[in-house]
Amino acid sequence: MKKLIILLVLSFANFQAESQNNNTFTANYEVTYRLEYSPDSTDIKDKSTEDFHLFIGDNKSKFISKNQRIRDSIVTKMEENFNGSINFANKNMPKTKFNEIIFKDYKNNKLKIVDRIGSDEFLYSEVIQPYTWEIKQDKKVINDFKVQKAVTKFGGREFIAWFTEEIAIPQGPYKFEGLPGLIVQISDTENHYNYQLISFKEVNGDKQIEDLDININYIKTSKQEFYKAKRDYYANYFVRLNEKGISLGLSPQKKRKIQEKFDKQNNPIELK
């Protein structure tokens, strides 16, 4: 319980800093995607879903879990109305499996990715690399959009995308981009990850979106180092707590169930 309280306090401190971020960019479009995915590579029929927002500006974009964004908004309001106590058990607080936030900065040709392990905030950057798309002749209709097929390889997987030139924006979910129209659907060939367009709307530059928070002291790292740290964190969760002399008062059976749950989160979208 002590460890849990510490994590909650640290998390609130991070959220509090985020709420004070005045660094924003103007979005012209708001796109919503629904992801259906298999978190456990040993049981790909066990599917989960989560919705994501893609905010597109002139030179920047931001891809974030819808639940993560709602959580940030709730905590910001909690901070604004702070009266000496915080209710972390708020039933309206949505859960997310994706703390990752992807910022694209086209002026500097950079991808900046913010993610969390425990209470620690990490930041790593990548150069925006053009995808090698092979556009096919296949065409069909998805959600009333006329779409065309394209394939590419990324992160150790092969992906099939369906894009529409009816929305001439070369963007898509996650890190995907570079087609002559908005990606309406994209999935890997084994269907472990499948993004589907839910909504698209033009916001006419009226929406200010939180950019990368310059007030947070991120742990700077590389993608490879971050993925390794994340694997190690969950693979050795209770060992790490024991080394720090922290006991959550859980029975061996409960610990085993929690560890089994961690072990099933073994199928990231990027395999390399």
Q: Does residue 203 sit in the same domain as residue 152? A: yes
Asked if residues 187 and 195 have their Cβ atoms less than 8 Å apart, the reply is: yes
Residue 210: C-alpha distances to residues 22, 62, 94, 207 (Å): 7, 9, 19, 10
Predicted pLDDT of residue 131: 97
Within a domain: 227? yes
Measure the CA–CA gap between 150 and 179, rounded to whole angstroms.
8
The pLDDT tens digits of the residues spanning 101-145 come to 999 999 999 999 999 998 899 999 999 999 999 999 999 999 999
Q: What is the CATH number of the domain that holds 34?
A: 2.50.20
Range of the domain at 199: 2-210
Within a domain: 171? yes
Q: Does residue 28 sit in the same domain as residue 140? A: yes
Within a domain: 270? no
Q: Does residue 112 sit in the same domain as residue 151? A: yes
Within a domain: 179? yes
Predicted pLDDT of residue 244: 76
Q: Does residue 166 sit in the same domain as residue 42? A: yes
Number of domains in the chain: 2
DSSP 8-state symbol, 39: S
pTM for the model stands at: 0.85
Predicted pLDDT of residue 86: 55
Residue 89: C-alpha distances to residues 77, 93, 94, 107 (Å): 15, 8, 11, 41
Q: Does residue 80 sit in the same domain as residue 15? A: yes
Q: Does residue 91 sit in the same domain as residue 119? A: yes
Within a domain: 17? yes
Residues 58-72 have a mean pLDDT of: 91
Q: Which two tokens stand for residue 185?
A: 């659907």
Within a domain: 119? yes
Q: Does residue 170 sit in the same domain as residue 77? A: yes
Burial pattern 62-93, b for ≥16 Cβ within 10 A else e, equals bbbbbbbbebbeebbebbeeeeeeeeeeeeee
Asked if residues 152 and 133 have their Cβ atoms less than 8 Å apart, the reply is: yes
Residue 142: name the closest of 177, 189, 188, 194 by CA: 194
177 pLDDT more than 90: yes
3 pLDDT more than 50: no
